[in-house]
């Protein structure tokens, strides 16, 4: 009898539940972080199936803290290590397109990043989640808060059946990218800022042709491929080159141009064969012949239109919180987008674990107070770095010319100048 009374005095406490909108790296990272904090999670993703190898997911660089966090989520850091290549060197070159010569501007041999392919990183994170967590083929439609702000209802459309369903949780996590519709509901007047340039991107798979003329040529021109992040700077333009695992070369070329007209909810632009051929002709004029050839031999290159926005003043409202590109649209020049998203997820998870569902507002306040100073400075630094490399006006700078600029100016190009480059603050009484 006494035992029965004891049992009735301890009712089962309901588990906190989060609905995460967006199943990219930011959304999956949040799923891991919140599960680690003791929450139930559901990820709503409009894609009908996990990505396999689409060209729109290209290369990225992971810093030490992001790798440490991913390793903790995966349970074994070696798995991430085995899926990446080192970026031990950060090197900036000046390239004279007319003379076809290049010289080193800066070289940092203690860079300590690793190169990953977006699709493979996504796969690592996805496969370590319970299969039921991600709802593929569910298009986010809208959300509403209960009167007491204790619950959020998310309405989605199931693509397979065309049915509309509602999912209820205690927290809505907006991981729906730089064009976030959830953010738009709170900040309807917010507009993204066009950077002034677009990026041609591509990944060349050279497996089976390691001894081809193109690959032998690029390895000779860039001898540290496989461990180096190369930036080539021309007059008013720059490119990026590094190697990915499984014999692939990732390249990016930034070109100043008027803002193109985008169709649909994407910053990736469809390209025609005529546009690709024109890009090849221009590359031969601007870059070393070895790099231009790699661009020419890459199948299905694509264009990203580069945007960011001025740092937000807040990134949560009631029980709705922004993470990843929804919280900080940023240009890609500091290798920050993915790294910031992983840190967002980690800090959010630690804050929720520290404060508990009963103190959700305090948890989100601390998350915001920790992340806003970091992401604000990183967004603005990345913006400035891109404008310098593209020869665009920068307050306090003369227009940058890689062929004539002095050593002090060139040192500003190094990635390690990024604010919070090594570590970002965590909640008190917590650690990753």
**Is position 217 within any domain?**
no
- Chain-wide mean pLDDT for the chain? 93
- The CATH number covering residue 35 comes to 3.50.50.60
Collect all residues with Cβ–Cβ distance below 8 Å to 2 and sequence separation of at least 6.
Answer: none
**Is position 176 within any domain?**
yes
**Is position 282 within any domain?**
no
**Is position 352 within any domain?**
yes
**Is position 405 within any domain?**
no
Q: What's the pLDDT at 399?
A: 87
pLDDT per residue as tens digits for the range 52-107: 765 456 899 999 999 999 999 998 889 999 999 999 999 999 999 899 999 999 99
Burial class (CB in 10 A: 0-12, 13-18, 19+), 327: buried
**Is position 79 within any domain?**
no
**Is position 166 within any domain?**
yes
Query: In terms of Cα–Cα distance, which of 270, 225, 219 is closest to 87?
Result: 225
Task: Give the CA-trace dihedral at 328, 332, 335, 338, to 10 degrees.
Answer: 50
Collect all residues with Cβ–Cβ distance below 8 Å to 159 and sequence separation of at least 6.
Answer: 46, 48, 137, 138, 139
**Is position 226 within any domain?**
no
Q: Write down the pTM of the prediction.
A: 0.93
* Total number of domains constituting the chain: 1
pLDDT per residue as tens digits for the range 343-366: 999 999 999 999 999 999 999 999
Please state the three-class secondary structure of 137-177 as a single string: CEEEEEEEECCCCCCEEEEEEECCCCCEEEEEECEEEECCC
Distance between CA atoms of residues 58 and 38, nearest Å: 33
Q: What's the pLDDT at 12?
A: 62
pLDDT per residue as tens digits for the range 30-46: 999 999 999 999 999 99
Q: Give the residue numbers spanning the domain of 319.
A: 17-57+120-191+311-391
């Amino acid at each position: 009898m006494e035992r029965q009374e004891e049992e009735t005095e301890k009712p089962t406490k309901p588990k906190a539940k989060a609905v995460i909108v967006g199943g990219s790296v930011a959304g999956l990272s949040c799923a891991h972080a919140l599960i680690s904090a003791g929450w139930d999670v559901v990820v709503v993703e409009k894609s009908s199936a996990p990505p396999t190898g689409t060209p729109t997911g290209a290369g990225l660089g992971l810093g030490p803290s992001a790798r440490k966090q991913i390793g903790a989520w995966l349970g074994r850091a070696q798995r991430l290590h085995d899926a990446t290549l080192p970026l031990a060197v950060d090197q900036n070159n000046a390239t004279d397109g007319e003379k076809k010569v290049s010289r080193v501007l800066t070289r940092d041999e203690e860079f300590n990043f690793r190169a990953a392919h977006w699709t493979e990183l996504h796969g690592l994170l996805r496969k370590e989640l319970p299969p039921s967590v991600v709802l593929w083929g569910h298009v986010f439609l809208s959300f509403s808060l209960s009167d007491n702000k204790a619950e959020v209802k998310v309405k989605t459309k199931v693509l397979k059946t065309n049915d509309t369903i509602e999912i209820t949780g205690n927290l809505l996590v907006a991981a729906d990218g730089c064009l976030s519709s959830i953010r738009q509901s709170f900040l309807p007047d917010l507009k993204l800022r066009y950077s002034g340039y677009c990026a041609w991107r591509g990944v060349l798979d050279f497996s089976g042709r390691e001894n081809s003329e193109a690959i032998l040529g690029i390895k000779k021109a860039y001898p540290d491929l496989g461990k180096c992040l190369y930036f080539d700077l021309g007059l008013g333009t720059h490119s990026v080159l590094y190697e990915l695992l499984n014999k692939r070369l990732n390249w990016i070329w930034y070109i100043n141009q008027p803002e193109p007209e985008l169709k649909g909810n994407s910053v990736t632009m469809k390209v025609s064969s005529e546009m690709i051929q024109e890009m090849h002709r221009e590359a031969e004029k601007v870059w070393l012949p070895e790099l231009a050839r790699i661009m020419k031999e890459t199948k299905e290159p694509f264009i990203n239109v580069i945007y960011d926005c001025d740092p937000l003043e807040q990134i949560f409202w009631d029980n709705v919180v922004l993470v990843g590109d929804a919280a900080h649209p940023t240009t890609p020049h500091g290798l920050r987008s993915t790294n910031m998203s992983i840190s967002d997820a980690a800090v959010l998870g630690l804050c929720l674990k520290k404060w508990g569902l009963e103190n959700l507002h305090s948890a989100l306040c601390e998350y915001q107070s920790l992340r806003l100073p970091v992401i604000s400075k990183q967004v603005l630094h990345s913006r400035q770095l891109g404008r310098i490399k593209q020869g665009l006006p920068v307050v306090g700078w003369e227009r940058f010319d890689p062929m004539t600029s002095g050593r002090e100016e060139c040192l500003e190009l190094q990635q390690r100048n990024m604010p919070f480059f090594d570590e970002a603050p965590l909640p008190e009484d917590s650690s990753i």
